[in-house]
Amino acid sequence: MVHPALESLLILQDRHAKLLNLEAQLKAVPRDIALVEQKIAAEKGAIEAARTEVRDLETKKKGIEVEIGSTADKLGKYRTQQSLVRKNDEFQALGHQIVTTEAEIGALEERELEVMYAIDEAKKRFVAAEATLKTNIAGHEARIRLLRERDTNLAAEVKTAQADTAAARQPVAEPALRLYDRVSARNMPAVVPIRGGKCGGCHLKVSSEIESASRGKGEPNGALPTCDQCGRIVYWDY
- Residues in contact with Zn ion, total (CB under 5 A)? 6
CB of 15 to Zn ion, least distance (A): 22
The rounded distance, in Å, linking the Cα atoms of 6 and 100 is 100
In the complex, the smallest distance separating the C-beta of residue 163 from Zn ion, rounded to whole angstroms, is 31
What is d(CA 192, CA 1) in angstroms, rounded to the nearest whole number?
Answer: 16
Distances (CA, A) of 229 to 17, 50, 187, 201, 203: 22, 61, 12, 10, 9
Which one of the spans 120-128, 146-154, 167-175, 230-238 is the region binding Zn ion (CB under 5 A)? Answer: 230-238
Least Å distance between CB 13 and Zn ion?
A: 15
Q: How far is the CB of 10 from Zn ion (least distance, A)?
A: 17
* Interface with Zn ion (CB under 5 A), residue from 183, 190, 227, 233: 227
3-state SS record for 128-169:
HHHHHHHHHHHHHHHHHHHHHHHHHHHHHHHHHHHHHHHHHH
DSSP H or E run through 235: strand 233-236
Q: Which is nearer to Zn ion, 179 or 227 (CB)?
A: 227
Interactions with Zn ion, residue window 187-206 (CB under 5 A):
199, 201-202
**Phi, psi for 198 (deg, rounded to 5):** -110, 145
Query: Which CB, 129 or 192, lies closer to Zn ion?
Result: 192
3-state secondary structure of 193: strand
Rank residues 126 and 180 by Cβ distance to Zn ion and give the closer one: 180
**Taking CB under 5 A as the rule, does residue 229 contact Zn ion?**
yes
* CB closer to Zn ion out of 43 and 211: 211
199, 234 Cβ separation under 8 angstroms: yes
CB of 234 to Zn ion, least distance (A): 7
- CA–CA separation, 206 vs 150, rounded Å? 43
Report, in Å, the least distance between residue 183 CB and Zn ion.
Answer: 10
Binding site for Zn ion (CB under 5 A): 199, 201-202, 227, 229-230
